[in-house]
Amino acid sequence: MPELPEVEVTRRSFADRIAGAEVLALRLGKPLRWPLGCAPDTLVGRRVVHVGRRGKYLLLQLDDGGCLLLHLGMSGSLQFAHSLPASGVHDHFDLLTSKGLLRLHDPRRFGAVVWVPDERDARAVKLLGRLGVEPLEAGFDPLAFHRALQQRRAPIKQVLLAGDIVVGVGNIYASESLFLAGIRPTVRADRISLPRARRLHAAIVDVLAYAVALGGSTLRDFSNADGQSGYFQREAHVYGREGLPCRVCATPVRALRQGQRSTFFCPVCQTF
Ligand SMILES: [Zn+2]
């Protein structure tokens, strides 16, 4: 599933190239997770001003104040190119612009493209309003992070995955951050001291920034809008490495299930 680093990598792979492009046509395939919310023809003639990101949503800002919110869901990927083959059975959104064709390929169709007239629109508020702070921006503060953890009794990994304190720390990145911080995934969030919360904060920033630098993780078939895969998963300390020696202490990495998701940790390096 594309997580924050993959979405950010995708954004960077086409944001500059599509900026200023005029929308020439829209084509919708099979229904995605939510309806578009407008007649496709009403967007023809608009220009894409900027491509931003909030959590795992890409925000295509249009020149009339409207915005297309794109989500890659479980299996989505974007392509942007001057020309692409005729749309296939899993291509469910084509945005033809004066600078190229933006295409959402999404076999499982948990992705979405939603138009909103502005950011105060009820659907925008519903999708974006409850997201936590951005981990790669200055608003992610260690003291505020620790204070927020003090309010939660759930296991720290679950709290990170929930995304309402800090967005974008998905399964692979939560496991890796907790490893670097030396914290067991099962520890109650409110038991984490300020020094440990600071270590975890720094680990989250490091892991996500490193993942973006490596082009994200390619767990199944992720590629950015230029068709390039990411390589973070090859660098993982614990994720996907059950039974293999810890890269730091050589103890076999353990796996457990938390809330239907696999969690990986080193019983020696993660003692708290
Ligand atoms: Zn270890």
Give residue-wise pLDDT tens across range 160-198: 999 999 998 999 999 999 999 999 999 999 999 999 999
244 CA → ligand 1 middle, Å: 11
This model's pTM is above 0.85: yes
184 CA → ligand 1 middle, Å: 12
87 CA → ligand 1 middle, Å: 47
Percent share of the chain, pLDDT over 90: 86
Those residues of the chain that have pLDDT short of 70 are 219-221
255 CA → ligand 1 middle, Å: 13
- Per the CB < 8 A criterion, the answer to whether 203 and 195 are in contact is no
199 CA → ligand 1 middle, Å: 17
Q: According to the model, what pLDDT value does residue 221 have?
A: 65
Q: According to the model, what pLDDT value does residue 124 have?
A: 95
Burial 80-112 (b: 16+ CB within 10 A, else e): beeebeeeeebbbbbbbbebbbbbbbbbebebb
- φ, ψ (nearest 5 deg) of residue 94: -120, 125
Q: Which residues are catalytic?
A: 2-3, 56, 261
202 CA → ligand 1 middle, Å: 19
Q: According to the model, what pLDDT value does residue 216 have?
A: 87
- Per the CB < 8 A criterion, the answer to whether 189 and 149 are in contact is yes
